[in-house]
Structure 1
């Protein structure tokens, strides 16, 4: 009888191990690097809508990409909580918070409960925080890192939350969402002047170029989205360089998210040349991040996509002439294809293999929760 009881207890203990393990990790962000010193600086580059074919087209035209310097590469699944094909809001939420939500929701659960973002974790760790985009800063992807709303189209509300988010650097478009409704270029329906919540606001290339020794700035260079790459002033490269130089002053480190927003828009439009030009511009910005990481060993860089857009495929071209001569799109919307992730520097090995996009957020926020 005693032997029987011992065997039963042994079996119960063995069965309980995975349950205990699940209970201890389900509510916490853990990674393979949890026993190591986490990165001091984290730079997240998001090529919105960027799939393998987009990168391939960029390489054909450019010859050699900055992305080729990354030795740790993986693939991400991107489905949202309610659909196989995600939108940027749900995908951005997964990356920023480590949790899945439903399409159109911005860093809230399907019940509307706020999900803490990587920027909020970083601020708790006394790190500097920044966002650089070629869209409006109220657009779905950047919003997922700073706001909590149940519909990505509530950009006036998102703007208000951004103005209260204590970010150190914001570069992009969307000025119309921050100025009173009575102004001719306003995109608001009320008289709130949200620009008053920021210590320093600029709106032109000249003001950008004249920035001195500062610790915080908001640059809103368009009423809504920024123009295409050939007309953007300042450009994504310059904005990324300036953001890093400002944020790197913080001795505790920083977290920066840089989005090549219009790779997605060129793909939605099924315009090959548009998406390739934006892809190459994005790769140049990635090069800026790499140059910083090479001299700052406590820096992690990840480059990823939130989803693929357009079902883009390359059919012909010339390496010698650096041209894509024939391509096609299977649709104008997003697809469910896995997308690439590249990582470099401190903790880079944690992002290889096939993983889900929410896992990326879990690992990143896990680093910050160790503080």
Structure 2
């Protein structure tokens, strides 16, 4: 049985010195940097974050920990420039992560599923390749596979986001400075269909290959790092925090971000890095409220790390955003004194974890006990019966190899945790965009996703010859 602990009790919300609920910390203002160029860029993406995700996570953090979230605190204190962003792809109002990331990474909209390959086959040079050629250190960290769509969109050209074995080889040839996340199956010879041992090949090319949190922490800044901590994506944050072995071996997004900044900042020419909270998107696809909100908290911790560095450094552009909404969750009818929503304050595991514990011989009473233990809600007998029967109906949602009834379980839980969902897939919403540091004063109140490519190049003083051609 997993031991319960306070989530992020001594996390970076405390480190940053943010005060009690409702306080507005006095922070540096973007105007201090007007006219200067950014030496460094930290681009943070909470993948698949609908506006409801951001606001519910802030409510949870405020009332569970007594502090505002880092992201909303930046709005409260008027520290960042706030904008809305249009997220469309070349062939749809509703983008996928590959096309959304490629708009940033290559400066042009591409069709869903493509990575910096345009509708007519044109290759758009990825932004980290541009910055690497300028002498900057570059890298990506993510809570999903390091070969997944969002990190890959800043790095490579591939006609399909599904070409993850090839993307892993692209990373080997590009020799970026830090790449960290999950996806061991794309580097391990036992899991690759071609039998290539990419771990050995990375080591032969001078990389430090790290496989757990301790090895990551011990890595030095003199050599590039490949960190691959799990197969598939990393565990959800709430599951990691309540499992002693996972907490010991798998780093959080904030821990990866801090280590990456430590390494990349040794470069005298500066650095550019992307940070992705990728499992926010996976949780939204699964309509998994506990997974969603605690992974958003995990991402918010990484925002804290980035902002702490940027405010001390005074020469770093920070971009905080999402690539698209997903499933549009919202808080409805939280109950007397918000008791329904507050059940999530004491949650110990994701819906996915619970559903994986249910077996064909699980009884109704066992299901009720299990959900009560892990989610702090008591199902009615008929709800538990429906839950057990739902396994016969079939799977729903993406990122669901166990063929679990994600949406069905979420529908039952919405009666108890007050979180409801519009869908199980991406939305066409305009999304939040927050910028801080040199260049942020030039961001308008409404932008199209591909416009961020040239914005980052211009903010850092890169020659206009490297800009993506005007659309």
TM-score (norm 2): 0.68
* Separation (CA, whole Å) in 2 of partners of 1:105 and 1:366: 25
1:266 aligns with 2:275: no
In structure 2, the residue matched to 1:237 is: 254
8 Å CA contact retained: 1:134, 1:262: yes
* Separation (CA, whole Å) in 1 of partners of 2:123 and 2:456: 18
In structure 1, the residue matched to 2:396 is: none
In structure 1, the residue matched to 2:128 is: 119
Q: 3-state DSSP class of the match of 1:126?
A: coil
In structure 2, the residue matched to 1:277 is: 294
Which of the two has greater helix per residue?
A: 2
Higher relative contact order (CA 8 A, sep 6+): 1
* Separation (CA, whole Å) in 2 of partners of 1:212 and 1:189: 32
Aligned residues: 332
1:90 aligns with 2:99: yes
In structure 2, the residue matched to 1:160 is: 169
In structure 2, the residue matched to 1:190 is: 194
Q: Provide runs of 4+ in structure 1 moved above 6 Å.
A: 318-322
In structure 1, the residue matched to 2:268 is: 251
Q: 3-state DSSP class of the match of 1:363?
A: helix
Q: 3-state DSSP class of the match of 1:223?
A: coil
In structure 1, the residue matched to 2:56 is: 57
* Separation (CA, whole Å) in 1 of partners of 2:41 and 2:209: 25
* Separation (CA, whole Å) in 1 of partners of 2:220 and 2:95: 41
**Residues 252-277 of structure 1, C-alpha deviations (whole Å, 9 max, x = no match):** 00001000001101100011111000
Of 226, 229, 233 in structure 2, the residue corresponding to residue 221 of structure 1 is: 229
* Separation (CA, whole Å) in 2 of partners of 1:58 and 1:160: 37
In structure 2, the residue matched to 1:26 is: none
CA positional deviation for 1:38: 2.2
* Separation (CA, whole Å) in 1 of partners of 2:461 and 2:159: 26
Q: Which moved more, 1:65-74 or 1:134-143?
A: 65-74
CA positional deviation for 1:354: 1.1
**Residues 195-247 of structure 1, C-alpha deviations (whole Å, 9 max, x = no match):** 21342111122212322343421110012211111325111111110000000
* Separation (CA, whole Å) in 2 of partners of 1:256 and 1:149: 20
Q: 3-state DSSP class of the match of 1:295?
A: helix
Which of the two has greater strand per residue?
A: 1
Q: 3-state DSSP class of the match of 1:164?
A: helix
Q: Which runs of 5+ in 2 are unaligned?
A: 1-33, 63-67, 241-245, 345-416, 464-471
1:299 aligns with 2:299: no
1:208 aligns with 2:216: yes
Alignment of structure 1 residues 168-179 onto 2, 5 Å? 168-179=177-188
TM-score (norm 1): 0.85
CA RMSD between the two structures:
1.8
Q: 1:134 to 1:152 in 2, by over 3 A?
A: same
* Separation (CA, whole Å) in 1 of partners of 2:42 and 2:83: 17
